[in-house]
Amino acid sequence: MGKSSDTRYIFSTGDLYQKDFSIVFRKEDGNFYLPIKDTRELYCFNEITLSTKLLQLLAKVGIVVHFFGYYENYIGTFYPKEQLLSGRLTVAQALAYEQNRLKIAGPIVKGIAKNIHFVLYHYYRHGKSELKDYLDWLRKDVSRLADAVGDIKQLLRIEGEIWARFYQTFRLILPESFAMNKRVKRPPDNPINALISFGNTLLYTKTITEIYHTHLNQTISFLHEPAERRFSLSLDLSEVFKPVLVYKTIFDCVNNRKITVEKHFDKKLNYALLNEIGRKTFIEAFEERLNQTFEHQTLKRRCSYKQAIRLDGYKLIKHILEGKNFVPFCMEDKK
Amino acid sequence: MLTGTVVNYYTHCQRQCWLFYHNLNLEDNSEDVRIGKVLHELKKQGKEEIALDGIKLDKLTAEYVTEIKKSDADLAAAKAQLEFYLVVLHDKGIIRKGRLECLEKNKQSKSVHTLMLTEGEIEERKVQYRQIEEFLNRELPPPPIRKPICKKCAYYEYCFI
Ligand code: SF4
């Protein structure tokens, strides 16, 4: 499935246009050719000019483009029109939302707990015994609680508690300069919040691209309200990957001093945002994790974490269309 | 409505046939297929196809209708597809023989296969096509069956996840 890396990140300003069968990026110090064959996804982190003619080409070949503003804020996605569509699936997806929302949302919440458990267990084994209560709760209680809920609101309360207690563990795992008291979303007001927001947005956009390559309708979601964002299904499917892709990357970067407050955050903005080197460093570490492979236990094939996101899309289709139980990606089971 | 591809897939794998018919087409996943499609789109001019009633013919001459396949990997499926063309043409009063050309021969000793259908066989095929249509109207696809062909199938991940 695909190449190890078919994502291009653009950090400088410049023009994007089509020449013959290539995408050309013209910036101050020269032209860069992006072969269409190896490109599936573009990230633009700066001011880019592009033409309708290029968009037409991107649409034809199904290249998704994500745009970010100067302050790392996500602006939106160019979502090519020529996507895979199946009338039968769309109808079934809407019915599943109407009739069986908890059958999909419940496993997502349980999946979050399992994957957080996986990530934190590592620290527990290395001497952080204070984690025990939370780990036990994740392992023994969450599943039972999630199975007992009668509506989505109760389920969301459990999810909220999982994350809140997770954030409280940061003071045990991270150096003081990064530990946080509360999670602030927009705008992030300290380094750790900046990393979380940036990481979550990257994962969200990755998920948009993966879902683009399935037949799922991006607007019909199950855990999140369908109206929450235009691609709210991506919010749903990215949730279980946050611990293993976003948080694990953050912990590794911070604890191995690949990212430090002094060097990688914007001093002018009171260290509340990554600077350009910080952003590049984080993206590199994040991409590396995404492209890491493991032996998939059901498929008996090697598979990258990025592919695992798409595979969760397939699981969802299979649940919706054929009634197979939906169990999102679990780091421990490798499936 | 049936098409040549659907008949081909029905012979190849019924599950694939059902999924494909309902537009759950995962073929685009393969990088080669995607690029092939792109190039095809970008330089559309060139070879013309004759298209009518669910069939797209590679070539139609006074004697033969010709179908060109990349390889002879599933000859039975390719033949079923060609027979479908013969039946559709027959209903329009166009009587032809079928000619199947395989660009790569891996499994068979020859690369060109010809075939003909008698009136009786044509009637039999029509009964079979009605059965395929009923099959396609089922609520659910048949479950996957592990076969050697699954390994290379675009649906592998979907089928066995
Ligand atoms: S993977 Fe196997 S069962 Fe599934 S559609 Fe392909 S050939 Fe059929």
Which DSSP helix (H) or strand (E) runs through B52? strand B50-52
Whole-number pLDDT of residue A36:
84
- At B31 the pLDDT is 56
Binding residues of A: 159, 224, 239
Position in ligand 1 atom list of the atom nearest CA B147: 2
Q: Note the CATH number of domain A7-78.
A: 3.100.10.20
Q: Does residue B68 carry a pLDDT above 90?
A: no
Respond yes or no on whether ipTM tops 0.90. no
Q: Does A148 touch chain B (CB under 8 A)?
A: no
pLDDT in the model for residue B42: 54
Q: Provide the pLDDT for residue B106.
A: 79
Spans of chain A, pLDDT less than 70:
1-4, 82, 180-188
Is B38 a residue whose pLDDT tops 90? no
Chain B partners within 8 Å of A311 (Cβ): 157, 161
Per the CB < 8 Å rule, is A318 touching B39?
no
- pLDDT at position B30 over 60: no
Segment A256-312, tens digit of pLDDT: 999 998 899 988 887 888 999 999 999 999 999 999 999 999 999 999 999 999 999
Q: Does A16 touch chain B (CB under 8 A)?
A: no
Mean of the per-residue pLDDT values for chain B?
A: 85
What per-residue confidence (pLDDT) applies to A3?
A: 43
| pLDDT given at position A9 | 94
The closest residue, in CA terms, to atom 7 on ligand 1 is B150
The answer, yes or no, to whether any atom of ligand 1 lies below 6 A from the CB of B27, is no
Q: In the predicted model, is pLDDT for residue B28 greater than 80?
A: no
pLDDT at site A75: 93
Domain ranges of chain A: 7-78, 87-333
The predicted model gives B66-70 an average pLDDT of 87
Give the range of the structural domain holding residue B156, as residue numbers without chain letter: 4-160
Work out the minimum CA distance from A148 to partner chain B, whole angstroms.
27
**Total count of domains within chain B:** 1
For B75-91, the pLDDT digits (tens) are 899 999 999 999 999 99
pLDDT value of position B134: 96
Residue type, B67: E
Q: Residue A22: list chain B partners with CB under 8 A.
A: none
Please give the residue of chain A at the shortest CA–CA distance from B25. Answer: A84
Cβ of B31 within 8 Å of Cβ of A213? The answer is no
Torsion angle of alpha carbons B55, B61, B64, B67, nearest 10°? -40
Q: How confident is the model at residue B58 (pLDDT cuts 50, 70, 90)?
A: confident
Do residues A181 and A262 touch, judged by C-beta distance below 8 A? Answer: no
What CATH number matches the domain at A87-333, 1.10.510.10, 3.40.50.12500, 1.20.120.920, 3.40.50.2300? 1.20.120.920
Residues of B in contact with A60 (CB under 8 A): 38, 41-42
Q: Strands B97-104 and B112-115: what pairing?
A: antiparallel
- Interchain contact A61–B (C-beta under 8 A): yes
What residues in A contact B27, CB-CB < 8 Å? none
Both tokens assigned to A24: 């050309």
CA A325, A326, A330, A335 torsion-angle sign: positive
